[in-house]
Structure 1
Amino acid sequence: MVTNMAPSHKVALIVGASRGIGRQVAIDLAKNGYTVVVAAKSTSDAYATKPFPPDPNSPQSTVSTVAREIHEAGGQATALPVDTRDFESVKKMVEETIRIHGHVDVLVYNSGAIWWASVENTPFKRFQLMQRVNPEGLYATIQALLPHFRNNGWRARIIVVSPPIYSRFFRGKTAYAMGKVGMSVLTKGMAMDFEREKKHDMAITSIWPAVSIESAATGTITRTDPTAERDLRKPTIYSDAILAMLNAPTKVVNGLLALDEDFLREYAGVTDFSKYSVMPGSSPRRIMPAKMPDLTVAEQDDEGRRTDSTKLRATKL
């Protein structure tokens, strides 16, 4: 595992950090010197939780227990409640983070709602939940943080849990894909804004697993089919990839829609991934394509007559 790669004064806000991947990212960033703020909807009395630590993929794992784990390992952590569907709750989370720690250097947006089914079999309320937690929650969190990034001289990193954009991803889960791909569009769009506005110390990057990762979601499968563990990796691959992204130059990662395994191989020099297998000695099946499509076009730099709605609105007032 990567260690000692970040100065202790850096603050990372991890939204969706109560269990699974988010918990692991929080723990490993803390091990690497970050002061972490762990935020999610679920909180608890961490010192009343027994046994401790709880199963990291169970409802007993909350941001409160994650913060306690980090404290007992010698790290710095603050647990905050947030409902990413509610912009006022998101703003309160950000304001409290700034009040306590003064600034935010890293945002990891890991909150997510999932429902994989056809449109016919996806109720509207389920569709609406996914849009509110996934793209809207991400947008709200970034909107709330932008004034603070400005005050910090536009020096920050944003990591988004969303996939590369390719057509096979939509199959069998259109409603879910609409939101997740929307998050990746935000990554691409903001990256171009940072570049055009010469915010060279800002970068936004998306990350997605190349192989299924052990989590609460995959746990529903392994409970009925224990052999499915051979196709799972530990969440440490995700946190190692994120640490590598945070230590890469902004020009390398800004606007990148990356897979954890591929980024570690191409930019961190990792060649042996066996330590990440949940089942020792197994070779987990890759679920993502080996090569992703290039989304650019020949006229990439031709914006035509670019319209700025804020300026148009100002002229009408």
Structure 2
Amino acid sequence: MTASTKEVALVVGASRGIGRQIAIDLAKAGYAVVVSSKSTSDPSSTSTSTTPFPPDPNSTASTITTVEREIREAGNMATALRVDTRDYASIQALVSQTMATYGRLDVLVYNSGAIWWAPVAQTPMSRFQLMQRVNIEGLYGVLQACLPHFKKADDGEEYRGRIVVVSPPIYSRFFRGKTAYAVGKVGMSVLTKGLAMDFRREGKTRMAISSLWPATGVQSAATTTTLNLGREEDACDLRTAHIFSDAVLGVLRSEAEEVNGELLVDEDFLRAKGVRDFDKYSLVPGSRPRRILPRSFPDLRVEEQDDEGRRVDSTVLRKSKL
């Protein structure tokens, strides 16, 4: 194992769309990037007369193999490592391989996701279970495997690192018509809030976890294929994945206390950082994509927010009974 002189970013769900763009832009920004997802391809077949390179970034032809090659051909550093986020052993192997390759971990972006928008009665149990395993359980597993490695490289003691989760602000309208999907995605945001509290309580002031969600539709495999927004008449309501990637980089460049535990929206966050030109992100030049999120969100804090009462720690209780 050779420790990387570059900061290392692990992007889970990086084969297409938003995840691919995040990986490419992190590499441009100087990170060594581990590009991870389930989809791989034969490197020898990524550029033929019938398979153009780079492939359509929102198609199944785009895999972690092709994304790794895109990054490397641009002169940057990347390694493609396969993972099945439904399998904790696969997640553990991914993180072990990351550490064996680079010797450090500085950034985690969790973009992996399964999607099905339908009422509860039209959402089969198998589909519900798939979404929970990929969305909330997958995120939890990746966090469990990664957290021990967010340590200062030279002395291994001071925790520092950044985590960005692709999950939404918490508000009731989000549940409408897609409750089964919302269960997992909102759960991911709850995990962001809770882990941020852990960081504060444990004095890990250089650690931060944030959630990020798009204000408008963003061109991706999910929107153009799964949600059937790939039609020409829908294109005016989509932005390119660059807006989301720019917001991720902005979060990573912010002070930890500013973004820790925040449920952010890409446009709103960038606007607060001084971005004024959002026309450059429109998929169709000159169009103004419709905002699909509310302008403001409920404040989840309560008056007794800082009163922990008698806090119970199950790990301590278990040790006391041994």
TM-score, structure 1 as length reference: 0.96
The C-alpha deviation readout for 1:28-70, integer Å capped at 9, x for no partner, is 0101111100000011113312211010011110000000000
Letter of the 1:140 partner, please give it: G
1:263 aligns with 2:269: yes
Partner residue, 1:174: 179
- Pick closer, same or farther for the CA change 1:10–1:152 going to 2, 3 Å: farther
Q: Single out whichever of 203-212 and 152-161 deviates more from structure 2.
A: 152-161
1:164 aligns with 2:169: yes
Q: 1:243 aligns with which of 239, 249, 274?
A: 249
The C-alpha deviation readout for 1:85-115, integer Å capped at 9, x for no partner, is 0000000000000000001100000000000
Letter of the 2:39 partner, please give it: S
Q: 1:11 aligns with which of 8, 13, 33?
A: 8
Partner Cα separation in structure 1 for residue 58 and residue 113 of structure 2:
14
Letter of the 1:193 partner, please give it: D
Partner residue, 1:113: 114
CA RMSD of superposed structures (Å): 1.1
Partner residue, 2:223: 218
Partner residue, 1:191: 196
Partner residue, 2:44: 47
- Equivalences for 1:1-317 in 2 at 5 Å? 9-49=6-46, 50-150=51-151, 151=156, 153-220=158-225, 221-223=228-230, 225-266=231-272, 268-317=273-322
The C-alpha deviation readout for 1:257-278, integer Å capped at 9, x for no partner, is 0000000011x20011000000
8 Å contact kept, 1:8–1:33: no
Partner Cα separation in structure 2 for residue 116 and residue 295 of structure 1:
25
Partner residue, 1:4: none
Secondary structure of 2:318's counterpart equals helix
Partner Cα separation in structure 1 for residue 222 and residue 80 of structure 2:
23
Letter of the 2:8 partner, please give it: V
User: Please, which runs of 5 or more residues in structure 1 have no aligned partner?
Assistant: 1-6
State the 1:148 CA deviation. 1.1
Partner Cα separation in structure 1 for residue 159 and residue 244 of structure 2:
26
Q: Single out whichever of 166-175 and 148-157 deviates more from structure 2.
A: 148-157
8 Å contact kept, 1:8–1:34: no
The C-alpha deviation readout for 1:219-243, integer Å capped at 9, x for no partner, is 13244x3110000000000110010
Letter of the 2:253 partner, please give it: N
Secondary structure of 2:121's counterpart equals coil
Which runs of 4 or more aligned residues in structure 1 lie more than 3 Å from their structure 2 counterparts after TM superposition?
Answer: none
Letter of the 1:240 partner, please give it: D
Matched residue count: 309
Between the two proteins, what is the percent identity of the paired residues? Answer: 65
Letter of the 1:311 partner, please give it: V
- Pick closer, same or farther for the CA change 1:233–1:8 going to 2, 3 Å: farther
State the 1:8 CA deviation. 6.6
Secondary structure of 2:276's counterpart equals coil
Partner Cα separation in structure 2 for residue 229 and residue 90 of structure 1:
35
Q: Single out whichever of 139-148 and 62-71 deviates more from structure 2.
A: 139-148
8 Å contact kept, 1:33–1:75: yes
State the 1:149 CA deviation. 1.6
TM-score, structure 2 as length reference: 0.94
Partner Cα separation in structure 2 for residue 233 and residue 287 of structure 1:
12
State the 1:157 CA deviation. 0.3
8 Å contact kept, 1:232–1:284: yes
Partner Cα separation in structure 2 for residue 254 and residue 29 of structure 1:
20
Secondary structure of 1:26's counterpart equals helix
Secondary structure of 2:218's counterpart equals coil
Partner Cα separation in structure 1 for residue 134 and residue 252 of structure 2:
24
Letter of the 1:256 partner, please give it: E
Secondary structure of 1:283's counterpart equals coil
State the 1:152 CA deviation. 6.1
8 Å contact kept, 1:21–1:215: yes
